[in-house]
Structures are given as structure tokens and as C-alpha cells.
Amino acid sequence: MKTAIVVQRYGVEVLGGAETLARRSAELIAPDVDLTVLTTCAFDYLTWEDHYRPGEDDVNGVRVLRFPVSAPRDAASFEKACDLAYAAPDDIRRGREWMHAQGPNAPGLLEHLRGRSAQYDAVVFVTYLYATTVDGLPLVADRSILVPTVHDEPPLRLAIFDEVFANARLCLFSTPEEQELARERFGLPDDRARVIGTGVDEYPGADAARFAAETGIDRPYALYHGRLDPSKGVPELIEHHVRYRARRPDGLDLVLVGGGDVRLPTDRGIYRLGFVSEELKHDAIAGAAVVVCPSPYESLSFSQLEAWSHGRPTLANASSPVLVGQSRRAGGGLWYSNAAEYALMLDLLTRARPVADSIGAQGRRYAQREYSWDRVREHWLAALATVASG
């Protein structure tokens, strides 16, 4: 099958749940289909400034076509558009103005879909949120698959997305909670929806001692890895941890791995490592007392799955139905609603280590059973065949 995956950013160094899902899925199915990834030249989702060279690229053996973004995002214009659109979510005109202000606007990508759509048997759009999907999916609706990665956030209420979900031939979800949200919001029927999940890798060579030797962090720690961004709940996590350490001076340190611009307190015991290698990231996970998942908005958490793959327990934001649902199904983690519960859960996991290890072991068994790449590949190929067959 000739297949395209459309996603707003693409690359090994591009962080983000939807982008990671797109890349890992592309690498998974590339040996079985004639695959091209259609994306922009952008690296930074806050500006959409061109970073990669336009034209054909190869990323881990996957053919990629990159198209320039017509203009970077103007932060002030986008903020104004957000205020107007969120105040009147049913106003299509304001919604379209919001989408144009958000971007990324890549005319060449849309022209490629418009002029060469017949060469693809199936076209997959990863994440509902951006212009690459809203403007691109209607051009190939009859052979489209939407991987929406939806969670409960202000843009989900905008009426401009009704058409996207109505036009998609098939929607693929990561969790039952994500499918249920789409059913409630868009009336998506079950015959156009499938939960296919994702896979998680094993890293048997991960070494906690190597992480300590390389970073000098030799006290027990809680770990967050991902974008250091307010939308991921990171500022609130830092506030919770500062309050926890004020009451528990001998408590866990907090290690933050990933890029982003958040203000850190001067308190000892909070470390920002920035971007690190995959090896060091997994060394950090293997050595963590707990992996914290503070985002209130998730359709799937790779951080959670990677923690469980190492047998580490997780501590999730209770505001996310997906994280709580996954924690319950896996038996691999706890959750918190406020600073007091955050501190209580850390105390439990650090003072009752056999309990923490048992919780992590349950998560590991769940991840191995439910998040096999072979199983995910079968789901992907079945979905593509369904759409390609007409």
C-alpha cells in the first residue's frame, strides 16, 4: 500500500507525544508499506520557524518530504486569536482565524496532497490540533485515517474540528478514555473508531549507577522527563515538590529531563538536565524512585509506559482521566490531586519500598502484555487495509 503520514513536525530530536507517536508508528510500518511522511521544515512548535531543509529526507530509514512554513507564528496574534475563539467556540470564522494564527501553515504540503492524492491508498493524519490536519484531511477524506491524540483542552471545544472528525474514514486511539472523549464531544460512532495503543521498548542495558556517575546525582530522586512546559503541568509539579521538601528535608530530589523554559527555584535538590541521550534517559528512569507524570492533558503518556518498562512506579496527575485509567489497568502507579496528596504518595513510595517495587513490577507486566510492537503493527496494517480497500 502507498501510504502517507501527515504530521506537523518530524525528527528523532523532535519531542512531543504526537510527534513521537507519528515517528515510532512510521518506523514500525515502513517495512510493510510504501511510506512517505509529509511534514514541515519546523522544529519548534512555538514559532514554526523553518529549521530543516525543504525536500526529501531520510529519518531512520523512513522517507520524509519536508515543506516550508509560509510564516512563523506571531505570539501576540495567536494569543488574541485564542481569546476570541475560546470565548465563542461555535463561531467558525473565529475558529478559522485561530487555526491560521496557530499554524503551521505549509501551502506546499497542501498542494502536494491536492495534486498527488491519487498516489496514496491511505493518508494518516497525526493529531487533530494543527493546520496540517484541519486543512489537509478534507483534501483526501475518502482515504483518511485520523490519529487525533485528543484530551480535554480548550481547543477541543472549537466547532472547526467537527468537520475533521466527521470526514475521517477511521479514527485510531491510544486508550479507551481517549475514544470515549471523542464519542462524547463529536458523536463519533464505534464503527469508525479503534483503540490500537502503541508499543514500548525494552532497555535491558539501563544502568542506574551509570546515571549517578555521569550526573553526580547520588540521592534518591523522583524523575520527570518530557517538555518543560506549563501545558505539561511542570510549574505546578515544581511547586508541589518545593512544598514537599520544605516538610521533608530528607525527601526525594527532583530531576527534570527535557527542553523548555520554566523557572526553577534555587532550592537544593532540584536538577534540570535539559536534553540527554536516550541511554542516559533510560539510565535515569531505571534509577528513579518514582516517575512523575504531571500533565493534566494526555491522550497517552510515553513517560508512564517507559517507567513501567523499567519496573518503576509512576505518580500521575489525577486531573488526567487517561493517566488514572492507565494506572488502574496496569496497577503500576498512584495519582495525586493536590500538593498534600503529592507529598503523601511520595512518602508512601519511598518509605515502603517493597510496595513501590511491587507496583512497578505490576506496571512492567502490563506494559509487556499490552504494549507489544508486534501487536500494534497488526492493528496499524489492518486499519490501513480497511481504508485502502474503499
**Which amino acid would we find at residue 99?**
M
Bigger pLDDT: 368 or 336? 336
Average pLDDT for 89-97: 97
Angle at 152 between CA 147 and CA 153, to 5 degrees: 100
- Cell representation of residue 323: 493517566
Same structural domain, 151 and 269? no
The mean pLDDT of 86-97, rounded to a whole number, is 97
Task: Choose the most confident range, by mean pLDDT, from 11-20, 69-78, 197-206, 268-277.
Answer: 69-78
Give how many domains the chain has, as a whole number: 2
Could you tell me the pLDDT band of residue 380, with boundaries at 50, 70 and 90?
Answer: very high
pLDDT of 168 strictly over 80 = yes
Q: What is the pLDDT of residue 173?
A: 95
Say yes or no: 138 and 222 in one domain. no
Q: Are residues 191 and 241 in the same domain?
A: no
What's the mean pLDDT in 168-176?
94
The whole-number pLDDT of residue 114 equals: 95
C-alpha cell, 351: 518509605
User: What gap in Å lies between CA 226 and CA 281, rounded to an integer?
Assistant: 10
Q: How confident is the model at residue 131 (pLDDT cuts 50, 70, 90)?
A: very high
Contact 291, 281 (CB under 8 A): no
Each residue of 316-348: pLDDT tens digit? Answer: 999 999 899 999 999 999 999 999 999 999 999
| pLDDT at residue 268 is higher than 80 | no
154 plus 39 within the same structural domain: yes
Looking at the fold, whether 294 and 246 belong to one and the same domain comes out as: yes
Q: How far apart are CA 20 and CA 198, in angstroms?
A: 11
Give me the pLDDT at residue 354, please.
Answer: 94
In terms of domains, do 360 and 221 share one? yes
Determine the pLDDT at residue 16: 81
pLDDT at site 197: 84
Residues 125 and 219 in one domain: no
On the question of a cis peptide bond just before residue 104, with omega within 30 degrees of 0, the verdict is: yes
The string of DSSP codes covering 329-377 is HHT-EEEESSHHHHHHHHHHHHH-HHHHHHHHHHHHHHHHHH--HHHHH
Over residues 35-53, mean pLDDT: 96
Length in residues, the chain: 390
Same domain, 364 and 304: yes
> Does the pLDDT of residue 261 top 90, yes or no?
no
Task: Please indicate, yes or no, whether residues 169 and 317 belong to a single structural domain of this protein.
Answer: no
Does residue 160 sit in the same domain as residue 267?
no
pLDDT at 259: 85
* H runs (alpha helix) in 248-338: 278-287, 302-309, 321-330
The answer to whether the Cα torsion of 213, 216, 222, 228 is positive or negative is negative
pLDDT band at 199; cut points 50, 70, 90: confident
Do 219 and 175 sit in the same domain of this protein? no
Residue 286 is predicted with a pLDDT of: 96
Which residue did the predictor score with more confidence, 367 or 35? 35
Give the mean pLDDT of the chain.
94
> 186 or 118: whose pLDDT is higher?
186
Q: CB within 8 A of 188, min separation 6: which ones?
A: 165, 171, 179, 182
Q: Could you list the residue range(s) of the whole structural domain that residue 355 is in?
A: 208-370
- Domain holding 177: CATH number? 3.40.50.2000
Instruction: Examine the pLDDT at 227 and tell me if it is beyond 90.
Output: no
The pTM (predicted TM-score) of the whole model is: 0.77
Rounded to whole angstroms, what are the CA distances from 353 to 169, 290, 295, 325, 367? 48, 11, 25, 23, 21
Residues 149 and 38 in one domain: yes
Give the pLDDT mean for 132-146.
Answer: 97
